[in-house]
Amino acid sequence: MIRLFNGIHEECGVFAIYSTDTIDVAMQTYLGLYALQHRGQESCGIVVNDRGVFTHHKDLGLVHEVFDKDTLAKLGKGNIAIGHVRYSTTGNSNRSNAQPLVVRHIKGPMAIAHNGNLVNARELREEYEFKGAIFHSTNDTEAVSYAITEQRLTCASIEEAVEKAVGRLKGAFSLVVMSPKKLIAARDPFGFRPLSLGKLDDGTYAVSSETCAFDSIGAEFVRDLLPGEIIVIDEDGVRSIKTYCGKEKSAMCVFEYVYFARPDSIIEGASVHRARLRAGEFLWKEHPVDADVVIGVPDSGLDAALGLSRASGIPYGVGFIKNRYVGRTFIQPNQAERTNSVKIKLNVVRDTVEGKRVILVDDSIVRGTTSKRIVNLIREAGAKEIHVRISCPPFTNPCFFGTDIDSKENLIACKMSIDEITKEIGADTLGYLSVEGVNKIAGSEAKCTFCDACFTGNYPCAVPKEMPKDKFEFKIQN
């Protein structure tokens, strides 16, 4: 499969549910994953636990494509389930890399799903291979599963095994782990990726990458897991293990607020929608310009555009109609087809832009190719001027924590000045939100500090010199 670096993608989303009763956990997990579909469209999977008997299904495709009524019925009812939606940042797109992973070891079955990226995944993998482990996938999650099962041989409980294994993991991880009787969730000590606890009733709890999934099943948000926290859910309720809490300064990925998360989610106490409104407000303060209309690129540019419009007093307009049946990762293998894909995905509302000075708000510029095509579409629709505003700073560094930015050579801001980028994409002016601005968009309600290394190069922990997403594929080929 040809992979083209054509935009920002986040690795995945996890969802899990525990009930003291036997219920339709497969359907609940399906609904949760449907709400998290924006976090990954390559593959998805669900594992159902019916009092220790695991049934699972996973495949490439969107949630509604992989799971139909018959498939969900075959999963059956149970009291625990975990699910996953994936966009790969480590490991190519194939069925073997779909999650959750189900492993069977001497202490019984275990299922695991993971969001994030480990900076020491290669070292862990090589260590376990030398010990005789056989890997069936090329993602980080299988290394995590070996770390847990190795500890399980000597630990009295699954939660003790997870606790010891977590001490070996470096980088970003939000995990859900299912044993025959327990559901366990864990978050890395930096808190790079979100993970929250929800509750349906006295005996039913849910864990999700985002709070929007709780709304889809009628669950009440309880709280975010603390960075470094491990929670165990079983017949006795919820208990917390805080061995790794407070070991590091929190470093939530600030791009969760800019792009990844759904606007109706609450992350670390801060509304994503409100954060994007602030981003637009800050953009106007940093880069004012005379214009007639403000439009946003669907979907993550819309809230920032609205915020800019409110701050400036310039009318907000609907500039694009988006084809909802084309996924975020609609990528074609050659230039002509890629150009056509933008026209298929977005259509300009000519009446909004024709003869007008337009402020176009988007979440980011990566290679610049998509921005160039979008600007050209607006120009063709008769816009008099096009002023591009971006609700984050320029990307100048690779990400090692779960965002698909694996090389500086793919980043236009590493090759060109802002004036050169402006000319390259065909805009009249271009303004990025400052690093200072992006770190303030979540507001005072945010209960965390942020990782902005993709903009600044200031990584919160030691990182490898390079870590291409297909690092394990290279290893296999050699």
- Tokens read off for 22: 């036997």
**Under a CB-based contact definition with an 8 Å cutoff, are residues 192 and 451 in contact?**
yes
What residues pair up with 239 in beta bridges, in sequence order? 232
Question: How many other C-beta atoms can be found within 10 angstroms of the C-beta atom of residue 329?
Answer: 16
What is the spatial distance between Cα 143 and Cα 164, in angstroms, rounded to a whole number? 14
The number of helices, as runs of H, and strands, as runs of E, in the chain is 17, 23
How much of the chain is in helix, strand and coil states, percent to nearest 5? 30, 25, 40
**Under a CB-based contact definition with an 8 Å cutoff, are residues 32 and 77 in contact?**
no
Of residues 12, 44, 448, 461, which has the active-site annotation?
12
Report the candidate in 406, 346, 338 with the shortest Cα–Cα distance to residue 381: 346
The phi, psi pair for 253, rounded to 5°, reads -60, 115
What is the spatial distance between Cα 65 and Cα 325, in angstroms, rounded to a whole number? 12
Known catalytic membership, residue 12: yes
Residue in the block written with tokens 């500890």: 151
What is the spatial distance between Cα 228 and Cα 51, in angstroms, rounded to a whole number? 29
Tell me the chain's radius of gyration from C-alpha atoms. 22
Q: Is the dihedral of CA 217, 223, 227, 228 positive or negative?
A: negative
**Under a CB-based contact definition with an 8 Å cutoff, are residues 267 and 210 in contact?**
yes
Who's near 69: CB < 8 A, 6+ residues apart?
A: none
The burial of 225, by beta-carbon neighbours within 10 Å (0-12 exposed, 13-18 middle, 19 or more buried), is given as: buried
Neighbour-count burial for 281-299, b at 16+ CB within 10 Å, e otherwise: bbbbeebeeebbbbbbbbe
Report the candidate in 369, 366, 300, 377 with the shortest Cα–Cα distance to residue 343: 377
Who's near 374: CB < 8 A, 6+ residues apart?
A: 297, 342, 346, 360, 362
What is the spatial distance between Cα 260 and Cα 268, in angstroms, rounded to a whole number? 14
What is the spatial distance between Cα 98 and Cα 377, in angstroms, rounded to a whole number? 36
Cα angle for residues 256, 190, 82 (degrees, 5° grid)? 65
What is the spatial distance between Cα 151 and Cα 246, in angstroms, rounded to a whole number? 24
Residues annotated catalytic, as ranges: 12
